[in-house]
Amino acid sequence: MSNLSIGQLAQRTGVAIDTVRYYERNGLLQPAGRLASGYRRYGDAELKRLRFIRRAKALGFSLEDVRALLTLSEERNVAKVKRAAQAKLADIEARIAELERVRGGLRTLIAACPGHGRAEACPILNALTDEETH
């Protein structure tokens, strides 16, 4: 079945038409065919592939990661897919740890700042300019 227009494909997957075109330019998605007029046509396989891309992106995978996952999916190599997911999880956990560290630092600075007075005495500004006294 290759009867979906680009607009219909975009609507069914919840992405913008420009996003579909972007994925095509990046080799992640290709139309099943074209009409004599040149309009793209998509079928069930492209619909499924675009949903896969969208869900992988929602889980934090980059376009390069998605490309690799699509290849692994086509190879049906479940062990490699699992390793890729584990690596993404480790990356996300590391970013969360870093964000928690940053949050703690900001909380400390905010608690130390009275919110009034001279800028030279502001612990937030001092921390940002590396003039904080310990």
Q: Note the pLDDT tens digit of each residue in 61-104.
A: 999 999 999 988 888 888 988 998 999 999 999 999 999 999 99
User: Does some domain include residue 110?
Assistant: yes
Q: Show the tokens assigned to 89.
A: 């999880």
Strand extents, DSSP E, 6-129: 33-34, 40-41
Q: Note the pLDDT tens digit of each residue in 40-57.
A: 999 999 999 999 999 999
Domain shared by 81 and 127, yes or no: yes
Give the per-residue pLDDT at 131. Answer: 45
The backbone torsions φ and ψ at residue 41, rounded to the nearest 5 degrees and listed phi first, read -130, 140
49: CATH = 1.10.1660.10
User: Does some domain include residue 4?
Assistant: yes
Amino acid at 111: A
Number of folded domains that form the chain: 2
Domain shared by 20 and 51, yes or no: yes
In three-state secondary structure terms, 133 is coil
User: Does some domain include residue 72?
Assistant: no
Cβ atoms 39, 3 nearer than 8 A: no
Domain shared by 50 and 92, yes or no: no
Q: What is the pTM of this model?
A: 0.70
User: Does some domain include residue 24?
Assistant: yes
Give the per-residue pLDDT at 90. Answer: 95
Give the per-residue pLDDT at 114. Answer: 85
Domain shared by 50 and 85, yes or no: no
Amino acid at 21: R
% of the chain residues with pLDDT over 90 = 58
Domain ranges, residue 127: 77-134
